[in-house]
């Protein structure tokens, strides 16, 4: 949950009513609380006045510091048990601490008091937030998945916004989410935007940004890495369901109409490893009955056995699990010549791609663990830093390619694997495009994993001099830079230019600085897929900050849209890289843009800091 608590006091929030099991932050920030020990059991009103009245008023009708809790429909719809649970966990992301140390009897008394002052409250009709979504069949201009298409190529055929008129692009609406580092890509279907935040899903009117419904639950304590920060990259959609993964790795099936929870399934098995999740789930399959929801996990930087899993979209039942690190006796264990890798890494936190014609799922894997200490893991360490080509019905590996064997520098291969059908090297080909953290741009035959082209896209690469005929990097220094030449953010290929667009980091230049500043300089680069040469580039000004990877979107209007990591959103000419339009966001950009068409008008949407921005002509 991440709403500004003061914003809840206004009437505009009537459209944002919370679900029963996930309270919105009605209560005041930590500074407004002063828990008092008591020698005898205080009454509910005494507890309220001691702990809550400072911001919400003695009469619970609100003050300038906090909204009223009496006659509040959002409180009235909660049971006493749900109120106690919220008090127990709190909502640190919105400023409310946990009251786990408050005696159980006092929590119960306070919850009962909150219920009593809302006995006569008029409640809204049933539904997550009082609003519902109606929809029809998918439309050509919809953006129905994380990358907008199964191929993971963020190239849109929409062409209403062009090089000739993009200078007239204006903000149509802004929707704020109380989380400063949004990385999500929204979905759009039939005039409704579905966007995620930390353990939250919002349904918004695509033309106005007005909220229709909102699902939320408190963030999970005790996590590590990006899930602990609240990072989430999006949702998936299939018919009447929205699919979403929580920070602690639970896959949720949510009613598309009103945001109510239909089912919930833990992704990870019951093992004591630091699993979490940030990934946007991915729906694959060619017809009803064969569809599956694919989900991956984080945690390799802290020691997990990575995996990818498939679930039934109707029930949430586990269909299959593909481990990315083998155990004794399994294929690939021969590449771990030390101890058995019970927590060997291989996270799966980036949404994959899918070829319906061959029914093949492509998914990237992360680094081995421990990241830099390889004393107990001699060998290539399969299937870390790989792209896996999988049978989506069974999880069986058809083929794999490992970009960085025996990784010593956290060179996850969790970069987009973009599927393209084109004439390549003189013949019709099915290829896969990938710009890796190790600094090389790859073209693979996606039917068998054969390397067709591999060339560094950096001016300097201290890790490897080339990729050999056997597909393995010719390593110069296994600990040499780069370790972050490209990253998870979206990429795009334009069939009109035969250029592949992505954000790159020239990491092997300059001096290393203290976190969050990184060494080197970022560039938006356009690489010719036939030669691997950089056709044009746009240097990104300012210091290079960690975790500010912003993605790209190409369109049939001849444009590439991208977020400037240090605070802007721009459109450039696909062929030349000439900047045609800029919008100063003044916040660091961490998300990837999308586009959709509704009622014969094209729009561009991107997350910037805590805001969802929608642009149109």
Q: Residue for token digits 């919930």?
A: 264
Q: How far apart are the first and last CA of the chain?
A: 33
Cβ-based neighbour number of residue 61 at 10 Å: 14
Is 124 contained in some domain?
A: no
Among 60, 87, 116, which residue terminates a domain?
116
* % of residues, the chain, pLDDT over 70: 88
Task: Please write the tens of the pLDDT for every residue from 275-324.
Answer: 999 999 999 998 888 999 999 999 999 999 999 999 999 999 999 999 99
Domain total for the chain? 2
The answer to whether residues 303 and 382 belong to one domain is yes
Residue range(s) defining the domain that contains residue 321: 155-616
Secondary structure of residue 548 in the 3-state scheme? coil
pLDDT for 579 beyond 90: yes
Closest by CA to 451, choosing from 484, 402, 389, is: 402
Is 149 contained in some domain?
A: no
The answer to whether residues 338 and 225 belong to one domain is yes
Query: Which element (helix H / strand E) includes 216?
Result: strand 211-216
Query: Quick one: pLDDT at residue 166?
Result: 98
Query: Quick one: pLDDT at residue 66?
Result: 59
The answer to whether residues 106 and 183 belong to one domain is no
Cβ-based neighbour number of residue 287 at 10 Å: 6
- Could you tell me the pLDDT band of residue 64, with boundaries at 50, 70 and 90? low
Task: Please write the tens of the pLDDT for every residue from 516-564.
Answer: 667 889 999 999 999 999 999 999 988 888 888 999 999 999 999 999 9
* pTM score over 0.85: no
Q: What is the CA radius of gyration of the chain?
A: 25
- Could you tell me the pLDDT band of residue 36, with boundaries at 50, 70 and 90? very low
Query: Quick one: pLDDT at residue 211?
Result: 96
The answer to whether residues 189 and 301 belong to one domain is yes
Least confident range of 76-85, 339-348, 439-448, 497-506: 76-85
The answer to whether residues 103 and 165 belong to one domain is no
DSSP-derived letter for residue 439 is S
pLDDT for 20 beyond 80: no
Among 116, 134, 166, which residue terminates a domain?
116
pLDDT: is 115 or 264 the higher one?
A: 264
Q: Is the peptide bond before 499 cis (omega within 30 degrees of 0)?
A: no
Task: Please write the tens of the pLDDT for every residue from 146-164.
Answer: 999 999 999 999 999 999 9
Backbone angles phi, psi at 83, to 5 degrees: -65, -40
Query: Quick one: pLDDT at residue 67?
Result: 65
Query: What is the C-alpha to C-alpha distance for residues 612 and 195, in angstroms, rounded to an integer?
Result: 9
Backbone angles phi, psi at 223, to 5 degrees: -85, 170
The answer to whether residues 227 and 103 belong to one domain is no
Tell how strand 155-156 and strand 552-555 pair up: parallel
Is 142 contained in some domain?
A: no
State the chain's maximal CA–CA distance in angstroms.
86
Q: What residues are labeled active site?
A: 410
Query: Quick one: pLDDT at residue 126?
Result: 38
The answer to whether residues 175 and 89 belong to one domain is no
C-alpha to C-alpha distances, 533 to 25, 291, 453, 602, nearest whole angstrom: 52, 39, 11, 32
Query: Quick one: pLDDT at residue 544?
Result: 85
pLDDT for 56 beyond 80: no
Secondary structure of residue 532 in the 3-state scheme? coil
CATH of the domain at 567: 2.140.10.10
Is 611 contained in some domain?
A: yes
Task: Please write the tens of the pLDDT for every residue from 356-401.
Answer: 999 999 999 999 999 999 999 999 999 999 999 999 999 999 999 9
Query: What is the C-alpha to C-alpha distance for residues 407 and 366, in angstroms, rounded to an integer?
Result: 10
CB of 249 within 8 A of CB of 281? no
Query: What is the C-alpha to C-alpha distance for residues 566 and 569, in angstroms, rounded to an integer?
Result: 10
Query: Quick one: pLDDT at residue 427?
Result: 97
CB of 156 within 8 A of CB of 149? no
Average pLDDT, integer, range 3-22? 34
Is 429 contained in some domain?
A: yes
Task: Please write the tens of the pLDDT for every residue from 77-131.
Answer: 678 887 887 787 776 545 667 788 888 888 888 888 888 888 765 444 333 455 8
pLDDT for 196 beyond 70: yes
CB of 381 within 8 A of CB of 365? no
The answer to whether residues 108 and 165 belong to one domain is no
Is 472 contained in some domain?
A: yes
Query: Which element (helix H / strand E) includes 525?
Result: strand 521-528
Average pLDDT, integer, range 231-254? 97
Average pLDDT, integer, range 446-451? 98
Closest by CA to 230, choosing from 273, 267, 277, 193, is: 277
Least confident range of 214-228, 340-354, 506-520: 506-520
Is 139 contained in some domain?
A: no
The answer to whether residues 159 and 112 belong to one domain is no
Task: Please write the tens of the pLDDT for every residue from 471-487.
Answer: 999 999 999 999 999 99
User: What token pair was written down for 205?
Assistant: 């009117």
pLDDT for 37 beyond 60: no
pLDDT for 328 beyond 80: yes
The answer to whether residues 111 and 163 belong to one domain is no
The answer to whether residues 39 and 176 belong to one domain is no
Average pLDDT, integer, range 478-500? 97
Closest by CA to 178, choosing from 208, 198, 192, 204, is: 198
Tell how strand 241-245 and strand 464-467 pair up: unpaired
CB of 599 within 8 A of CB of 162? no
pLDDT for 9 beyond 50: no
Among 85, 100, 116, which residue terminates a domain?
116
The answer to whether residues 344 and 419 belong to one domain is yes
Query: Quick one: pLDDT at residue 484?
Result: 95
* % of residues, the chain, pLDDT over 90: 72
pLDDT for 176 beyond 60: yes
CB of 27 within 8 A of CB of 47? no
DSSP-derived letter for residue 66 is B
Secondary structure of residue 363 in the 3-state scheme? strand
CB of 229 within 8 A of CB of 220? no
Average of per-residue pLDDT values in the chain? 89
CATH of the domain at 41: 1.10.760
């Amino acid at each position: 949950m991440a709403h500004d608590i003061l914003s809840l006091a206004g009437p505009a929030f009537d459209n944002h009513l919370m679900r029963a099991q996930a309270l919105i932050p009605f209560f005041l920030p930590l500074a407004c609380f002063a828990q008092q020990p008591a020698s005898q059991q205080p009454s509910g009103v005494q507890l309220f006045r001691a702990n809550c009245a400072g911001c919400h008023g003695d009469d619970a009708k609100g003050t300038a510091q906090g909204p009223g809790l009496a006659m509040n429909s959002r409180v009235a719809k909660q049971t006493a048990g749900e109120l106690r649970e919220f008090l127990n966990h709190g909502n640190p992301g919105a400023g409310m601490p946990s009251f786990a140390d408050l005696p159980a009897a006092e929590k119960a008394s306070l919850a009962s008091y909150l219920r009593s002052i809302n006995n006569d409250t008029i409640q809204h009709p049933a539904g997550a937030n009082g609003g519902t979504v109606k929809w029809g069949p998918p439309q050509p201009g919809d953006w129905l998945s994380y990358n907008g298409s199964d191929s993971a190529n963020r190239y849109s055929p929409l062409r209403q916004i062009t090089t000739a008129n993009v200078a007239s692009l204006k903000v149509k609406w802004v929707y704020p989410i109380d989380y400063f580092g949004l990385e999500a890509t929204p979905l759009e279907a039939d005039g409704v935007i579905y966007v995620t935040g930390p353990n939250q899903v919002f349904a918004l009117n695509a033309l106005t940004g007005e909220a229709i419904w909102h699902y939320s639950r408190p963030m999970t304590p005790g996590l590590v890495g990006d899930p602990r920060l609240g990072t989430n990259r999006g949702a998936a959609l299939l018919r009447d369901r929205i699919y979403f993964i929580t920070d602690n790795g639970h896959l949720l099936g949510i009613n598309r109409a009103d945001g109510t929870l239909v089912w919930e399934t833990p992704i990870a098995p019951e093992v004591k490893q630091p699993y979490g999740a940030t990934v946007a789930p991915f729906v694959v399959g060619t017809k009803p009955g064969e569809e599956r929801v694919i989900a991956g996990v984080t945690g390799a930087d802290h020691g997990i056995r990575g995996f990818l899993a498939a679930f039934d979209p109707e029930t949430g039942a586990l269909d299959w699990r593909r481990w990315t690190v083998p155990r004794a006796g399994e294929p690939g264990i021969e590449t771990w010549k030390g101890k058995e890798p019970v927590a060997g890494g291989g996270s799966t936190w980036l949404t994959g791609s899918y070829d319906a014609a061959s029914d093949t799922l492509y998914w990237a894997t992360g680094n081995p663990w421990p990241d830099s200490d390889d004393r107990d893991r001699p060998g290539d360490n399969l299937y870390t830093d790989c792209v896996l080509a999988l049978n989506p019905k069974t999880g069986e590996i058809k083929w794999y390619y490992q970009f960085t064997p025996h990784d010593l520098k956290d060179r996850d291969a969790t970069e987009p694997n973009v599927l393209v059908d084109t004439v390549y090297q003189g013949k019709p080909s099915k290829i896969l495009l990938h710009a890796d953290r190790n600094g090389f741009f790859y073209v693979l035959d996606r039917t068998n994993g054969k390397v067709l082209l591999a060339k560094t896209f950096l001016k300097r690469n201290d890790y490897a001099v080339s990729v050999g005929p056997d597909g393995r990097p010719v390593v110069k220094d296994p600990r040499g830079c780069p370790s972050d030449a490209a990253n998870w953010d979206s990429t795009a290929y334009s069939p009109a230019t035969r250029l592949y667009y992505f954000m790159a980091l020239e990491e092997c230049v300059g001096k290393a600085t203290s976190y969050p500043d990184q060494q080197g300089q970022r560039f938006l680069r356009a690489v010719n897929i036939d030669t691997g040469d950089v056709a044009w580039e746009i240097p990104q000004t300012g210091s290079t900050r960690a975790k500010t990877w912003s993605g790209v979107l190409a369109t049939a209007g001849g444009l590439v849209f991208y977020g400037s990591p240090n605070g802007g959103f721009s459109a450039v000419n696909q062929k030349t890289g000439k900047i045609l339009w800029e919008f100063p966001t003044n916040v660091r950009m961490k998300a990837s843009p999308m586009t959709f068409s509704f009622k014969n008008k094209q729009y561009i949407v991107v997350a910037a800091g805590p805001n969802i921005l929608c642009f149109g002509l």
